[in-house]
Amino acid sequence: MPIESLIFTYVTFLLGVLAAVAILYERRRRRFEPEPTEDHLFRCRKCSYVYTDDPDVELSRCPQCGTSNEVVEF
């Protein structure tokens, strides 16, 4: 077997193993990450408390002080 074929086979094998490890790592990472939530994020204007509420709510009362707050936009 010529040396070029051996080098090509070796490099191809190593790249295949590297791709397989990357795919397995990515699948495992996604399995353990928390699911993104659709809830809105709110920050109280009065006490600066940060909390979430349902996605269909535009104004939400702060659970600590009761002040109505609007959705925080990033």
Reference 43, options 26, 28, 64; nearest CA is: 64
Identify whether residues 48 and 29 lie together within a single domain. no
When divided into structural domains, the chain yields a total of 2
pTM across the whole model: 0.51
Identify whether residues 20 and 2 lie together within a single domain. yes
**Alpha-carbon 20 to chain mean position:** 22
- 29 three-class SS: helix
Which structural domain range is residue 53 located in? 40-70
Q: Going residue by residue through the chain, which has 74 residues, state the pLDDT in tens, using 9 for 90 and above.
A: 789 999 999 999 999 999 999 999 999 988 888 877 788 889 998 898 999 888 888 888 899 888 888 888 77
CA quadruple 73, 36, 33, 52: dihedral sign: positive
Contacts of 45 (CB under 8 A, 6+ apart): 67, 69
Identify whether residues 27 and 48 lie together within a single domain. no
Identify whether residues 29 and 44 lie together within a single domain. no
